[in-house]
Amino acid sequence: MQETNRTEISTLGEFGLIKHLTETIQLKNDSTRYGVGDDCAVLQYPADKQILVTNDLLMEGIHFDLTYVPLKHLGYKAAMVNLSDIYAMNGMPRQMVVSLALGKRFCVEDMEEFYAGLRMACDAHGVDIVGGDTTPSLTGLAISITCIGEADKDKVTYRNGAKETDLICVSGDLGAAYMGLQLLEREKTVFEQQRRENRRTGNHTESEEELRLAQPDFSGKEYLLERQLKPEARRDIIEALAAAQIRPTSMIDISDGLSSELMHICTQSGVGCRIYEEHIPLDYQTAVMAEELNMNVTTCALNGGEDYELLFTVPIGDHEKISHIQGVKLIGHITKQELGCALITRDGNEFELKAQGWNPLKD
């Protein structure tokens, strides 16, 4: 948090802070009739569109750790989490409402950093910030974001449309965000152990040299950190599918892990699936980091989460068209429900898929 040139939020007040953070926002969408500045935003959508609404609540200590997450990155990621949900419905995001609960340790400059990341993400995806709220918090930072989007009535894609013989596709690569989190958590543990040792030996004030030496070396692992701290919602894939005239039969974004998300599709569609380990897309840095941590890289890809890639199914007749879309990998196919959900390993063995992705409500 900002320690120098600190402006207390109380000097601006709730409405002053909101005005300070939003007064330079310029609206980009025709469907936004009126944005920040009144009791409600005013939206107007064409009659041939379906309106999509999603919300995410992010809690400090549960969904993010400010020990290693810069506030600018947090704002960017908080926006992307919501944008990804709209894309997962085969839609386009248009507006966003942002509410924050703030502890006293935060200052105006901190919120400027958060909003800088938030607005960077919204500007990149053509989204208007049209409102929100702020309130005090006694338990850290809480972020609630609602994103509103649109889709043609005949193109909205749900999780329940997968059919037998459909192809299972995924964008990007998997497991890197989870490896980035493991890397950050490891370095946090090392740093905290060093500080405890300094206190034990009476060294309560670290010198600049000691602080410099305490900084971890992330060279060669930059991609993992980027995937964890600065994920990208896949607007490009939605646009590529539309250009290729491919209408997915089902779709979901990968926030809790490939295995969990695929089972959501299969359960809601009443089908089974087969995916192949050799076809699961992995980045080289992910594989190296998994080996360094003595973890199975396939398990990380299946269960790690926070990739925010798109998992979707398409009719088998679209095989040739889907094979020409850059950044999309075919990983398996849909089967009859009674055959269950399975992973076929590189050596030909078959294992039942289980939803072992991240569950924040689990003890």
Q: Can you read off the two tokens belonging to residue 146?
A: 């609602």
Q: Do 194 and 336 form a contact (C-beta atoms < 8 A)?
A: no
Tell me: do 192 and 274 sit in the same domain: yes
Tell me: do 145 and 161 sit in the same domain: no
Tell me: do 197 and 110 sit in the same domain: no
In the block, residue with structure tokens 């409402």: 97
Question: Which of 134, 152, 170 is a domain's end point?
Answer: 152
Render pLDDT for 177-218 as a digit per residue (tens, 0 to 9): 999 999 999 999 887 877 777 677 766 555 555 544 456 778
Predicted pLDDT of residue 347: 95
Predicted pLDDT of residue 45: 96
End-to-end CA distance of the chain: 30
d(CA 188, CA 69): 11
Render pLDDT for 28-66 as a digit per residue (tens, 0 to 9): 999 999 999 888 999 999 999 999 999 999 999 999 999
Predicted pLDDT of residue 211: 46
Predicted pLDDT of residue 232: 98
Query: DSSP class of residue 24?
Result: T
Query: DSSP class of residue 5?
Result: S
Residue 230, pLDDT above cutoff 80: yes
Residue 341 pairs with which residues in a beta bridge?
A: 273
Tell me: do 271 and 343 sit in the same domain: yes
d(CA 206, CA 190): 15
Helix axis angle for 108-124 and 71-87, nearest 10°, is 30
Tell me: do 122 and 181 sit in the same domain: no
Range of the domain at 330: 157-363
Render pLDDT for 151-173 as a digit per residue (tens, 0 to 9): 999 999 999 999 999 999 999 99
Higher pLDDT, 73 or 14: 73
Tell me: do 76 and 173 sit in the same domain: no
Tell me: do 122 and 185 sit in the same domain: no
Residue 99, pLDDT above cutoff 80: yes
Q: Do 117 and 177 form a contact (C-beta atoms < 8 A)?
A: no
- What CA dihedral angle connects 328, 124, 76 and 34, to 10 degrees? -130
Residue 1 lies in a domain: no
Tell me: do 13 and 136 sit in the same domain: yes
d(CA 245, CA 49): 18
Which positions ≥6 away from 205 have C-beta within 8 Å? Answer: none
State the chain's mean pLDDT as an integer: 92
Number of domains comprising the chain = 2
In the block, residue with structure tokens 């992010």: 58
Tell me: do 289 and 179 sit in the same domain: yes
Predicted pLDDT of residue 362: 56
